[in-house]
A and B are shown apart, each in its own frame.
Chain A
């Protein structure tokens, strides 16, 4: 728990209904805020297109130009991070650590497991085995779910039998079903698992909490060979290692050659966004697989068990607990996961949508952050303003920008009336928008090149022509950013706005070839 002298301990709030009185009202209003801003923008643009199409058209042109510059601006960060990642991947991290004392650092790997196949789990474990680090200093917790049933337990036992002897410690935990105050999901599972590990491993073997780095992974997370060395180096060289989380770059290379183009574009776009954020660490929160000191986790009470987006919430828990003195160290070193892939294309698209909606549900952090900052007098005013702006602008952009650019941008022409349609502005609007978008899309060439450099070796069962499709796939971007970006993001915000809280949805992992 947070030390006794600490003035503020952030409660693990999941939603407004868990509060009462004025706090409940305040939290509820903050839940409404992101959706209100997004819908206000979209409806405002429609309203303006009808009642003042000239002003709407000028606003759209300004916005298009802003978007073009933003695209170019962010591509500079993307390119820089790409160079940094390539550099970090080429480094010998063992040499980097040679002048540091690191033998005492224990890595605790938490692998939340639901019903993934043995094949998926084996790939994850093979990578752990291949990773360069003293395996005696690696403890693995396979965090199973009781509700997954007998078959899942059997697979867990099989994995234990096959891999347990290769690591310093190996545990299977089984998260009980139907614990009061919890929702089904990764957060409740790994919070349970890590407490079990603390008792059975850290306390039992008297391992110092300060010496334990926890990597909270997904079941399909595959580490690159120097991951543990890289994390260790960053941990040991961090100015304050207990006030930071460590964020690798998620690639989706496990099945990139098998996944359909739409899935690849969405997954790689996610990677690119994380790469950009790695260069702007003040805007970065933890995402998906990440690492953090056990000491920190213990102090802030582990991951929340009553909400969906535990991966980013754990950062905000720490941020509020330490009065805003908490940040993310972007390690610019990759880990790999599965891109969405289902037996049929339609099912894959549905799964992508659901996964994007779940990620978009990260908007549930907004009321938590704003509420927590309002209640915490120790965070500076400007930091509160800055954090609030970054969060609100981020979710607002996700839900509205592609819709504004690709759909509503043409609306003044359709509903602006006959008088507007005779103005030279009405003729220039689509031309300028189109030209600015073409320029912005030119940035996709760079995206295509960068994505190719991270591709794993092409499997023998995949034809050589697929490399060409890996380039051409980027033409899907206008579709994916709207229908597999904005729309699920907007749905998540709308649900939060109306108090229709989402539950956890486990992305199914499907492999075509082993």
Chain B
């Protein structure tokens, strides 16, 4: 038996070369978002990407169920979409539904990271201890602060991180009166939030090419955004635990979670109802002070 004959080798080589030359333009056009039409023309398509961390979430695009997320399959990538507006709905039995209308552009992908808030929020009272906890350690008395004292301190101490609000408010923001107070700004990654009077603001501080799409209108992006305008003064504002695109605010008699993305639909969820509550987020834990009572909102 001899090595493969030259003729046969040449045939294989030419066949593979032809396959390469013929197929590769199709792969490239497909990867760029081009699709052939029935009229043998080329259409430009876009896509939607949705990432949901909660397994068991149903993702609908224009009322069609596209995916149910699992423990490992947490994302949906849908391409071949005509450039137009699509309605995305994420539903989960334990969370408030989340919806968004998103514009899809040619050869681009609109990425969405739905903000799911649990329907049933567990609250834990934080009660003032009657005695001071003292522990001994190698014969030295150590005074350990009670949880109550710590939480109390959160609400009495000034906010340290990014304690100054930006000098300029967005042009679209209503003028605030000198009587309104600025609630200390918070920063997380490249996002800064703060409130002035009855408004909540967000500012994108990262590079312009990574500006989140909700800072943009018809592809024109402004780094400042009015996230929310209330009828009453905002008492406190902070980032929602684990996210830099959602905030927790206290206004009137409630605590609410809302996303910074104000595009339709601006998702807004109740977390707590009381009298005049204030909220602090410390180390990922959400604490509420309502008069003289303190509670922690668990498992947000």
Within 8 A of A (CB), among B32-52: 32-33, 45-47, 49
Task: Kindly specify which of A126-134, A294-302, A427-435 makes contact with the partner chain.
Answer: A427-435
B27 interfacial contact with A, CB 8 Å: yes
With a 10 A CB-CB cut-off, give which of B9, B49, B211 has the most chain A CB atoms: B9
User: In this assembly, does B295 line the interface, its C-beta being within 8 Å of a C-beta of chain A?
Assistant: no
Q: A462 on the interface (CB 8 Å rule)?
A: no
Q: A58-B31, A72-B16 are in contact. Are A278 and B3 (CB under 8 A)?
A: yes
State which of B3, B32, B111, B213 has its C-beta within 8 Å of the C-beta of A330.
B3
Residues of A within 8 A of B (CB): 57-58, 61-62, 65-66, 69, 72-73, 76-77, 80-81, 83-84, 87-88, 278-281, 330, 332, 417-419, 421-429, 431-432
Q: Write out the residue numbers on chain A whose beta carbons fall within 8 Å of the beta carbon of B218.
A: none
Q: Which residues of B contact A426 (CB under 8 A)?
A: 109
- Set of chain B residues within 8 Å of A431, measured between Cβ atoms: 77
Q: Which 4 A-B pairs have the closest CB atoms?
A: A418-B210, A424-B33, A418-B209, A428-B31
Chain B CB within 10 A, most for which of A57, A418, A422: A422
Residue of B13, B31, B33, B47 contacting most chain A CB atoms (<10 Å): B31
| 14 new A-B contacts at CB < 8 Å, known A422-B111, A428-B31 | A73-B13, A76-B12, A77-B4, A84-B2, A87-B1, A280-B9, A417-B210, A421-B210, A423-B107, A424-B31, A424-B47, A424-B109, A427-B79, A428-B79
Q: Does B20 contact A (CB under 8 A)?
A: yes
Whether B129 sits at the interface, judged by CB under 8 Å, is no
Determine the distance from Cα of A435 to Cα of B211 in the docked complex, in whole angstroms. Answer: 31
How far does the alpha carbon of A48 sit from the alpha carbon of B16 in the complex, in Å?
A: 28
Residues of B within 8 A of A88 (CB): 1
**Does B108 touch A at the CB level, under 8 Å?**
yes
| Residues on the A chain within 8 Å of B33, using CB | 423-425, 428
Nearest B-chain residue to A60, judged by Cβ: B31
Q: A61-B28, A65-B24 are in contact. Are A424 and B4 (CB under 8 A)?
A: no
Contact of B3 among A57, A279, A418 (CB under 8 A): A279
- In the bound complex, do residue B12 and residue A422 qualify as a contact, i.e. CB atoms below 8 Å apart? no
Residues of A within 8 A of B19 (CB): 69
CB-CB under 8 A from A62, the residues of chain B are 24, 27-28
The residue in chain B whose Cβ has the minimal distance to the Cβ of A433 is B31
* Partner of A65 from B1, B20, B45 at Cβ < 8 Å: B20
Q: Taking the nearest CB of chain A, how far is it from the CB of B5, in angstroms?
A: 10
Q: How far is the CB of B130 from chain A (nearest CB, A)?
A: 55
Q: How far is the CA of A197 from the CA of B256 in the complex (A)?
A: 93
User: A422–B79 Cα gap in the complex (Å)?
Assistant: 13
Closest to B33 in A: A424
Number of interface residues of B (CB under 8 A): 33
> For the complex, would chain A's binding face be called helix, strand, loop or mixed by DSSP majority?
helix
- The answer to the question of B95 belonging to the interface, with a C-beta cut-off of 8 Å to chain A, is no
Interface core residue of A73, A88, A421, A429 (most chain B CB under 10 Å):
A73
The answer to whether A69 and B111 have CB atoms under 8 Å apart is no
Chain A residues within an 8 Å CB radius of B107: 423-425
Residues of B within 8 A of A (CB): 1-4, 9, 12-13, 16, 19-20, 23-24, 27-28, 30-33, 45-47, 49, 77, 79, 107-109, 111, 207, 209-211, 213
The chain B residue sitting closest to A417, CB to CB, is: B209
On whether the beta carbons of B209 and A427 are closer than 8 Å, the reply is no
Q: How far, in angstroms, from A61 to B49 measured CA to CA in the complex?
A: 21
Residues of chain B contacted by A429 (CB below 8 angstroms): 31
For A72, list chain B residues within 8 Å (CB). 16
Tell me which residues across on chain B come within 8 A of A421, comparing CB atoms. 210
What A residues does B30 contact at CB under 8 A? 428
Residue in contact with A424 in the complex, picked from B27, B45, B211, CB distance below 8 Å: B45
Chain B residues lying within 8 Å of A424, measured Cβ to Cβ, are 31-33, 45-47, 79, 107-109
A173 to B47, CA, bound (A): 73
The one of B24, B47, B211, B213 that contacts A427, using a Cβ cutoff of 8 Å: B47
Docked complex Cα distance between A84 and B4 (Å): 9
CA distance A81 to B47 in the complex (A): 46
CB of A66 within 8 A of CB of B31, answer no
**With A and B bound together, what is the CA distance between A472 and B111 in angstroms?**
38
Contact B31 A422 (CB under 8 A): no
Bound-state CA distance A135–B132 (Å) is 97
A425 close to B31 (CB less than 8 A): yes
CB neighbours (8 Å) of B13 from chain A are 73
* Residue from A83, A84, A278, A422 in contact with B109 in the complex, judged by beta carbons closer than 8 Å: A422
Contact A425 B32 (CB under 8 A): yes
B-chain residues with CB within 8 Å of residue A332 when the two chains form the complex: 1, 3
Q: How near does chain B come to A219, taking the closest CB pair, in angstroms?
A: 30
Alpha-carbon separation in the docked complex, A418 to B209 (Å): 5
A73-B24 contact, Cβ under 8 Å, with A279-B3, A424-B45: no
| Given contact pairs A69-B20, A76-B12, A424-B32, A418 touches B46 in the complex (Cβ within 8 A) | no
Looking across the interface, which residue of chain B has its beta carbon closest to that of A330? Answer: B3
Contacts of A422 in B (CB 8 A): 108-109, 111, 213
Q: Which residues of A contact B79 (CB under 8 A)?
A: 424, 427-428
Give the complex CA separation of A62 and B21 in angstroms: 10
Nearest chain B CB to A186's CB is how many angstroms away? 28
- 11 A-B pairs with CB atoms under 8 Å apart are A65-B23, A65-B27, A69-B16, A69-B20, A330-B3, A422-B111, A423-B109, A424-B46, A424-B79, A425-B33, A427-B77
Is the pair B27, A418 in contact by a Cβ cutoff of 8 Å?
Answer: no
B211 cross-chain contacts in A, Cβ below 8 A: 418
| Interfacial chain A residues near B31, Cβ < 8 Å | 57-58, 61, 424-425, 428-429, 432
Q: What's the Cα separation between A83 and B2 when bound, in Å? A: 11
